[in-house]
Structures are given as C-alpha cells and as structure tokens.
Amino acid sequence: MADFDIEAIVKPFVADVGATLKGFEAKCANLEAMVFEMEQKSARDRYFGSAASPTGEIIGARLPEVERLQIGDYITKGTVISGAVDGEGGFLVPLIVSKEIERLIELQSPLRRVARVVQLPGRDVRFPVANSGMDSGWVAEKAARPNTATPDFYAVQPPGGELYAAPQMTLAALEDAAADLEGFIQTAVVDEMARNESEAFINGNGVDKPRGFLNGTPVATPDAGRTVGVLQYVATGTAATLGADLIGKLVAMVFATKAGYRQAPGCAWMMSTAVLAELSNLKDTTGRPLFVPSLRENVPGTLLGYPVIEAEQMAAVGAGNFPVAFGNWQRGYIIGDRTGLSLIRDPYTTRGFVTLYWRKRVHGAVLNSEAIKLLKVAVS
C-alpha cells in the first residue's frame, strides 16, 4: 500500500493539526494496549483454562481458592429455606442437583418405574378402594326398581418413614479436594438410598418404612374368595425348584390376573437378574425363547409379551420363596413421597468436620391386592 501524509489529509478539517495528531496517537496507543492485553488473556485461558491469577502468574489447572469454595457452597448449600441464614446450615438441594438425584433414584429403585407415585399432602393419607362392584339389572317400563347393591370400601393407609444418610468429611478434605468431592459423595448417597428404598418397597415391614408387597402371607385362593389385602400366589409344584412346568405356571400367573388389569398400562414382571437368567433359557414348543431381550437402552426385555423389571431385592429360588411377581403395578402398589430429597450442612456439631445430612420421607403399600400375583417355590 502506498504511503500517505496524515497531516496533509486532516489539515483542511482542523484548526490545530499538531494537537489533533497528538490526541490521535494517544488513542491509538491505548487501543493497542487493550488489544495486546486481550490477546494475552485469551492465550492464557486457552492454555490453562481460568486458572491464571490476576497478576498473570500461572498457578496450574486449579481454581482459585475463593472460586472453588464458592462452587462448593453452591453444591452443598443451595437455596436458603425458612428464612435461615448461611450460618444456620439448613438448605434445600439446588434445583439442578435435585433433579439429577431423583433421576438416579428412579433408575436404581425399579419399582418407581412402574408403580403409582404420588405426592402426599400429609403423614396420614388414606386411599379408598372399592371391594366389590356396583350391581345392576333389567327392568320393565312400569316395573318396580328396587335398590341395587353398592360397593364395599376399605382404606389403604401406606406406612412410611424417613430415609436418611449422614456422611461426614473433614474440613481439610473439603478445602483441599477438587470441587466435585461432594458430587462423588452425592452419587454414593443416592446409590445407597435407592437400594434401601427398593428393599423397603419389596420386603419392608411397614415399621417406620414402607410396607413391601412381599410382606404378608399370600395364599393360593383366587380373587373371588380371598381376603381383601392378601396377595395370591401360583405354586411351582416342587418344594425347592422352579419345577418342570415353569412355562405353564407363568401363564397361570398371567391369567390369574383379571383382564382389566393385565390389558391396561403398567403390567410387568419383577424378578432378580439371577432368576431372569434361569427364565431366559425357556423356549416354546417351536424352540423360540420366551424371554426376548431388548436392543434399546433403558427399554426392558419381555417375557410372554410383558416387560421384565430387574429388582435385585427380589428373593432367590429357594423353598418357600417368592422369586417372581407379575401384575399391574400402577394399580397394585402405591408410593407416596411426603417430602423431596433435602440436605442440611452441619459444620458445627463436630469441630473440624462437616456432616452432610440427606433425608427424604417416603411411604408405600399394596393398594389393590387383586392386581399383583406371585410365584411361590412350593408343592402347593
């Protein structure tokens, strides 16, 4: 590009050319300094993330102390509740963390995937269930119309309790560790609480916890003659094994369930992985397997056309055990969440330590005893 004379260009437009050129040069110098500083900062950020100190000294790929502790406070404290101040330590889990926790619990607690889950407005909530249907009849135009039978009702009040975990760490570990230390603890807490919750939904005795659907004394009596609230089982025909006619027993379980339940959404098998491995060898008369594995992630395989939910808390094959369950879980079992998962951060009770107190209140019980059938390892 050819040289040009700036003074000659600006002279026709200004009174004092010298002053104008000095001001222009000063602005150019400031602009060059700003561009240089931005280029330097961009290079540092690309190379070291945001770990460069304000003075330009590189301190490694580690967040400054203040920023790291602020991230830790966000993870552990979240949104203040009940007007409490930070020093009092009572906090809800931040919304984004709470959603992740609930998602993990759903994946690890299989009954939540198929059962009816509701929010309980209070501790003692009763769910009415009709024990018998309405009655009706045909009548002539002028004939008398006597009263017809009305349903008998009974109430289900799901028991429950508080599920908690209280891991503790030293202040030094919290100060020196990476920002995801509490994230690791969160995952461990979720896994353990999910296992405990699933155990209660299946085997819980109802004392300060949900009542599991296997808690009770199932009988072989069909729906019409069975006491309300008692589940029905189909026996394998042998004392300690799944028997020689397992396919016939599984089919009997399906057809022991009324069509209104098994033809509605929410029907599924439930068993442990070990029992499913045994059932996966079953074949029909043409040699086709009865269990069809799924090729899609998070989509269960099917047995006799119904999905199979794997629950490791289900019993193994053994004398008197109930290793397989089938039914409409939306109709048969209810889970009531009294509170969501919350966190209290306590750095005061034990000096030098921080306790993370996680808790939730949950209830559960069989809602409709006609909608769930069991396979019992027994002669009859």
Tens digit of each residue's pLDDT (9 = 90 or more) over 128-140: 777 666 678 899 9
- What total of structural domains would you count in the chain? 1
Query: What is the arithmetic mean of pLDDT over 214-223?
Result: 95
Q: How far apart are CA 299 and CA 78, in angstroms?
A: 34
pLDDT, residue 94, reads 52
Question: In sequence order, what E strands does 275-341 have?
Answer: 291-292, 302-303, 306-310, 324-328, 333-337
Q: Residue 26 falls within a domain, yes or no? A: no
Predicted confidence band of residue 303 (pLDDT cuts 50, 70, 90): very high
- Contact between 314 and 269 (Cβ < 8 Å): no
Q: Pick from 91-95, 156-160, 320-324, 353-357 the range whose average pLDDT is largest.
A: 320-324
Would you say residue 363 has pLDDT above 70? yes
pLDDT, residue 214, reads 97
User: 87 lies in which domain range?
Assistant: 68-130+151-380
Q: Residue 141 falls within a domain, yes or no? A: no
Q: Kindly report the CATH number assigned to the domain that includes residue 340.
A: 3.90.1690
Predicted confidence band of residue 329 (pLDDT cuts 50, 70, 90): very high
Q: Residue 6 falls within a domain, yes or no? A: no
pLDDT, residue 328, reads 97
Q: Residue 63 falls within a domain, yes or no? A: no
Would you say residue 177 has pLDDT above 80? no
Q: Residue 45 falls within a domain, yes or no? A: no
pLDDT per position as a tens digit, 53-103? 444 443 344 444 544 444 444 444 443 333 333 433 344 445 555 666 666
Q: Residue 97 falls within a domain, yes or no? A: yes
- Contact between 240 and 315 (Cβ < 8 Å): no
Residue found under tokens 């028991």: 159
Q: Residue 296 falls within a domain, yes or no? A: yes
Q: Residue 50 falls within a domain, yes or no? A: no
Lowest mean pLDDT among 14-18, 243-247, 308-312: 14-18
- Contact between 232 and 366 (Cβ < 8 Å): no
Q: Is 266 left (phi over 0), alpha (psi -120 to 50) or beta?
A: left
